Structure 1
Amino acid sequence: MRFLFLVLWGWSLLAWSAEPFTPLRLEPQPLQIRNAGAPDVALLCPRKGPSSVRPLAPPPEPTQIPDEDEVASALQDAPVASGLQPVRPVPAWPSNPARGWRIAVWGDSHMAAAFFSDQLQRKLAPADAPVSSRFIHAGVGHGGVRGLVRKTCLSGEWAREMAYAHADAASAPGPGMTSLVAKRPGATLALDLRDAQGQARHTSLQVLYHGEGAGNTQLAISVDGEAETLVSLDPQVGPGALALQTTAPLSTLKIRVVEGAFRFQGIKLSETPAPATLHMDLFAYPGATAAGWVRSDLSYLASWFTDQSYDLALIAFGTNEGNDPRFNETAYRDTLTRALGQFRQVFPQTQCVLIGPGDRGVRVVKSKAAKTSKKQAAQSKRSAKATSSAKLLKYAHIHAQIGQIQAEVAALHACSAWSMQTAMGGVGSAYPWARKNPPLMAPDLLHFTPAGYRELANIFLADFGLNPP
């Protein structure tokens, strides 16, 4: 088995080097701002104007979690043989106490919620040990994205573009393969960059953006609510960075577009003076798929990471692919294979784990048997049973297929694979997880509660035998 693994490893290295690329050159533009460093600077978001009133839609028909006997019947009608490969442990962590462990997470809404990664941090780093992040990607401020900054304010006209769905975002991908685009001057982005304890720590950072080459983009930068500093961005095409240096640790940063086009790609924070025990960058975004890795320009994407290496990357996609009514196993396998090949070109030495989607259930219309005759109730029950196999386990079966494909493709690219669905107990496990007290599944039977994400993180750590250094 070990010989086979080495053969696959060597084959993968040859495949990754078949299409070499060179990261685009990134030369940060310096900007110095003198700030007073006032303590406890709060970020106040402007009030939103009144929204237009839309006519009320009719309330949806009430639904509920299917009865246990319905789920049991569905499982009996359509048993699933477990074909998932056993977990292959991640090799020993590189020993580098001078900088601590470095982990990157790319994924969809499951990872964007940050409850999973928060639990990893709690388990992998002592309570009093520093945990740092280097990147804040352009998904900041979007609903369902948390754990990046304390607070975000957006005003004016902005649009979000993702590499998996937008050609412009794919040709100029940010580190999270997400861009925040100002549609016209006056658009403002403000961030509270203090740590979890409310302390300002950074005196330097880089504002990452895409240079349009027009040479007329002008921004107004404000730190801690003080006077704005006007700056014209370098007239270059490609990845750009505005290297901000302050005289005192900054709490809040405000960026206002004065003139020209501005495609915000994120924030790159400076390394902290004291080495962190754990360093974790979260690049997840709701709705994202592995196609972002396929469509992104690698030379552009790699330019953000020339000075940033990772010990481990968690790649957690599959839920949104499985939700596509056109889902096809062959097409998904091809996309995932290409995505991992792209990832390996940017991070050839990084250990990686593919995280498959969790189990997914389907809510059913609440029974109205109490208002019908016994005969009607019996007919309704027989009808529900006839469709239960196809309906109640539809997405669960698709997720099982995705998990199997991920395990097979991961092995060909020297990655490990781990399935949230398998960790939960397999096909149909969403229903008992939803009935637990406290519930581990969210009411939509697709996402998890904070407790559910923490439980999955604990199982993940136990399965891989990951322990603090």
Structure 2
Amino acid sequence: MPARFQPVATVGKDAPRIKSSRRGVSILQIGDSHTAADFFTDAARQALRRKFGVGGIGYMSVGTPHPGVRSNLLRVSASPGWTYEAIQRFPHPEVFGLSGFNASTSRQGETLTFSASSLEPYARIEIEVRTEPEGGTIVVEVDDEVRLTTALASTTPGSRMIKILAPAGESTFRKLVLRTGEAKPVTVSAVGIYRDGRGVTYSNVGFPGATVDVVGKLAEGALRNDLGRLSPDIVVLAFGTNEGFDAKLDPAAYQERYRSAVREIRTSVPKARLVMIGPPQGERPLPTCKPEEGKPCPAPGMEKQTAAEGENACPKRPAQLDKVREVQRRIADAERLPFWDWWAIMPGGCGASRWAAADPPLMAKDHVHFTKAGYRRGGESFAAFLEPEIKAMLRGEDAVSND
């Protein structure tokens, strides 16, 4: 199989490296909109950083590909001339990397900017770009200093990795700018900002509206190459909400597709720990109660439940969501994966309604997503769940076997 990336263009490759006696921990969470928004993941990230130290920014998409895709560590902005493609809606998955998004332009002087509120440490910056016969030029600036100018023209279309090493092995930055140098095609897929052997790096790769099937949409070898290059210590899978709202979902077929994604990730990074996050509670509005139906309308959040339904029943919750949770639990048991039950930290019954009515609200008005406070509660709880995994990994032990 040919290598996914062409040879890298590197700046600073002869710079002396600073060796660290501390081992870094790299976590990569792949999921749906709960992951893409970086509220849940940032709450987990900050809690783990306080415990184990500050790592790098990590792997991230570029520009503003979707309103629900963002970073809590950097302010990411783009000039108006960029257009975006997403793997979920594009017929040629081979042009995408792990981020699942491409930012493209054919105009000169367009910029992608990554700004930090304070100085951020880094050892290396990696920029994934596309090459093509008519490819243009990209200029990389770190704190207003041009660190690299490179042409993206190539007789063979494909992916290329641009790598910039920090002076003296490690440095800090406040602003990273990618600028197009001429009016020719430029496509950028992802940016990674890393430290070596320091603290926790927690990357979030999220796809709004996605199911676990998005893992299988990546072209053959793309997932394997990208995960192999990133080499995360822990891979977190966080899907289930969108599957749970799919009335036509076949649980048996879904189970096989999810296990296929697990197998592919294990093959890509056999030394990584895999962790599953089960879907949180979610609800859809009940049908409007009409007077001619001859029955009273229940007050919001006060729906009657029979004893047979149990204390966790909720008529506003789609039935498939319960089935998805059950399927994921079976997979976690069969594959011996740590399973964090997001559902369980919410109240019984219509937990989404109860959290939406809390003061302050913990659930958004759609009863599917969370407020910042709600995501913070979930992320901090998940961080506490991960702590034994990280401690065992740092000791060189297996907290939960993946065999």
**Are 1:438 and 2:353 an aligned pair?**
no
Q: 1:158 aligns with which of 82, 100, 103?
A: 82
**Are 1:24 and 2:32 an aligned pair?**
no
**Are 1:171 and 2:100 an aligned pair?**
no
Contact in 1 for aligned 2:245/2:318 (Cα 8 Å): no
CA distance in 1, matches of 2:63, 2:4: 23
Q: Secondary structure at the match of 1:265?
A: strand
Give the C-alpha shift of residue 232 in structure 1. Answer: 1.2
Q: Which has the higher contact order (CA 8 A, sep 6+)?
A: 1
Give the alignment of 1:270-289 within 5 angstroms: 270-272=194-196, 275-289=197-211
Contact in 1 for aligned 2:62/2:189 (Cα 8 Å): yes
Q: 1:112 aligns with which of 31, 36, 57?
A: 36
Cα pair distance change 1:138/1:406, threshold 3 Å: farther
Unaligned stretches of 5+ residues in structure 1: 1-20, 33-95, 369-375
Cα pair distance change 1:117/1:153, threshold 3 Å: closer
- 2:256 counterpart letter in structure 1: D
Give the alignment of 1:5-404 within 5 angstroms: 24-30=4-10, 98-126=22-50, 129-138=53-62, 142-147=66-71, 149-168=73-92, 170-176=93-99, 178-186=100-108, 188-194=110-116, 196=117, 198-202=118-122, 204-212=124-132, 214=133, 216-225=135-144, 231-233=150-152, 235=154, 236-244=156-164, 250=173, 251-256=175-180, 258-272=182-196, 275-363=197-285, 379=294, 381=296, 393=315, 395-404=317-326
CA distance in 1, matches of 2:38, 2:186: 28
Contact in 2 for aligned 1:141/1:153 (Cα 8 Å): no
CA distance in 2, matches of 1:412, 1:22: 34
Which structure has the larger Rg?
1
CA distance in 2, matches of 1:333, 1:427: 26
The alignment's TM-score, normalised by the length of structure 1, stands at 0.67
Contact in 1 for aligned 2:286/2:316 (Cα 8 Å): no
CA distance in 2, matches of 1:464, 1:244: 32
Cα pair distance change 1:416/1:436, threshold 3 Å: same
Cα pair distance change 1:139/1:299, threshold 3 Å: farther
Contact in 2 for aligned 1:121/1:131 (Cα 8 Å): no
Cα pair distance change 1:427/1:188, threshold 3 Å: farther
Q: How large is the Cα RMSD of the aligned pairs?
A: 3.7
Give the C-alpha shift of residue 429 in structure 1. Answer: 1.6
- 1:217 counterpart letter in structure 2: G
Give the C-alpha shift of residue 204 in structure 1. Answer: 4.4
Contact in 1 for aligned 2:69/2:208 (Cα 8 Å): yes
Give the C-alpha shift of residue 98 in structure 1. Answer: 2.6
Q: Secondary structure at the match of 2:103?
A: strand
- 1:452 counterpart letter in structure 2: G
Q: Secondary structure at the match of 1:144?
A: coil
Q: Secondary structure at the match of 1:146?
A: coil
CA distance in 2, matches of 1:383, 1:271: 55
Q: Secondary structure at the match of 1:27?
A: strand
- 1:27 counterpart letter in structure 2: P
**Equivalenced residues, count:** 371
- 1:439 counterpart letter in structure 2: P
Contact in 2 for aligned 1:164/1:293 (Cα 8 Å): no
Q: Secondary structure at the match of 1:341?
A: helix
CA distance in 2, matches of 1:163, 1:467: 32
CA distance in 1, matches of 2:192, 2:388: 28
CA distance in 2, matches of 1:220, 1:464: 39
Q: Secondary structure at the match of 2:84?
A: strand
The alignment's TM-score, normalised by the length of structure 2, stands at 0.77
Cα pair distance change 1:128/1:417, threshold 3 Å: closer
**Are 1:407 and 2:322 an aligned pair?**
no
CA distance in 2, matches of 1:326, 1:208: 37
Unaligned stretches of 5+ residues in structure 2: 13-19, 392-403
